[in-house]
């Protein structure tokens, strides 16, 4: 770990000013960035502690939107009665991630910025374009069993690791940020970036901008939702494939559908093509399978992860069946 200056911010403006210097990073729970600093992957010259900021509330706005402060702990969000009752897909996603101890420390804002667990990213003896732009991607011709099959490029095939983000993608969350130039809101689908030619640029967040809150829009049918995670072991493991599903089924037909995939994409993967297949269709196995085929139609397998394509399809079909049933 490299030497760094540590600052405890007392309010948003103080935090933003402190993070304006080059190579500065915010820290909340520290469940990801501390590991990266220990491995000399992240080397901030200044670390800004934001835990004193008043960003730890879960509120229901007048229009029914749920506003989640960036410093809300994952466990607090998962067990919040409004979330567990009306947005079970989000609660289930949070509870499937990490361990109870980490969920008690990890923040919502930090989860949004969680970095890939690609082994070549973590091992500094290997080239990695995400870690060192222009050095190459070791995973493409290496051991890539856990890497992505959707949204990849010739520069990077690293999988996005977050469970929470998959659920938020399905729910169409809105991310609020504050920077030196003021506040702005970012639709969830626009927040994370595909690797393209610049895999080291992972989000649309600008340097020094602070995530302040995440809004979950009103979605009455989200009460019928589910997050299914398939992994090598039952706990403390990242997804090989996961599916976040929200369905509104009336009279044997699907009126509204939201679908997102995890474990297979370079970003939390909202599948609008699957949603189009589902909307207006009968709630049966054929519909679910057709939607799954559409969701993975653009998938590109690599040497060790071709199995993920069929696994993701089956995961999605099972999640859809759990939520939508069969007519």
**Chain segment 109-140, per-residue pLDDT in tens:** 999 999 999 999 999 999 999 999 999 999 99
Helices (H), 29-128: 33-38, 74-79, 81-86, 88-95, 100-103, 108-112, 119-122
Q: What's the whole-model pTM score?
A: 0.98
From-to residues of CATH 3.30.43.10 in the chain: 5-51
**Chain segment 178-224, per-residue pLDDT in tens:** 999 999 999 999 999 999 999 999 999 999 999 999 999 999 999 99
The CATH code of the domain at 5-51 is: 3.30.43.10
Instruction: Report the mean per-residue pLDDT for the chain.
Output: 98
Q: In this prediction, what percent of the chain has a pLDDT beyond 90?
A: 99
From-to residues of CATH 3.30.390.50 in the chain: 223-322
What CATH class has 223-322? alpha beta
Quick one: pLDDT at residue 327? 87
Quick one: pLDDT at residue 237? 96
Half-sphere exposure of 186 (CA within 13 A, CB side): 23
For residues 246-251, give the mean pLDDT.
Answer: 98
For residues 227-254, give the mean pLDDT.
Answer: 97
Q: How far is CA 40 from CA 23, 105, 207, in A?
A: 13, 22, 20
For residues 272-281, give the mean pLDDT.
Answer: 98
């Amino acid at each position: 770990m490299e030497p760094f200056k540590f600052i405890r911010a007392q309010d948003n403006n103080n935090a933003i000013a402190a993070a304006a210097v080059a190579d500065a990073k915010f820290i909340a729970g520290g469940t990801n960035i501390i590991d990266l600093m220990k491995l000399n992957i992240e080397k901030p010259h200044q670390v800004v502690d934001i835990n004193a900021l008043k960003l730890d509330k879960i509120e229901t706005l007048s229009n029914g939107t749920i506003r989640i402060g960036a410093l809300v702990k994952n466990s607090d969000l998962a067990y919040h009665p409004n979330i567990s009752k009306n947005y079970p897909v989000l609660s289930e996603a949070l509870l499937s991630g990490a361990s109870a101890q980490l969920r008690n420390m990890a923040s919502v804002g930090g989860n949004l910025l969680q970095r890939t667990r690609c082994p070549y990213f973590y091992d500094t003896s290997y080239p990695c374009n995400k870690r060192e732009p222009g050095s190459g991607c070791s995973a493409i011709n290496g051991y890539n069993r856990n890497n992505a099959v959707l949204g990849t490029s010739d520069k990077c095939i690293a999988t996005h690791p977050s469970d929470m983000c998959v659920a938020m993608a399905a729910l169409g969350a809105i991310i609020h940020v504050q920077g030196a130039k003021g506040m702005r809101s970012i639709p969830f689908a626009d927040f994370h970036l595909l690797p393209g030619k610049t895999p080291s640029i992972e989000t649309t967040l600008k340097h020094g901008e602070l995530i302040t809150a995440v809004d979950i829009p009103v979605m009455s049918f989200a009460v019928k939702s589910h997050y299914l995670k398939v992994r090598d072991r039952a706990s403390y493991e990242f997804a090989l494939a996961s599916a976040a599903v929200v369905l509104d089924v009336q009279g044997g037909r699907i009126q509204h559908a939201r679908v997102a995939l995890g474990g297979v994409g370079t970003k939390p993967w909202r599948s609008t093509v699957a949603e189009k297949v589902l909307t207006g269709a009968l709630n049966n196995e054929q519909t679910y399978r057709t939607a799954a085929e559409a969701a993975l139609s653009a998938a590109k397998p690599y040497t060790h992860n071709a199995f993920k394509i069929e696994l993701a399809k089956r995961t999605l079909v099972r999640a859809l069946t759990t939520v939508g049933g069969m007519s």
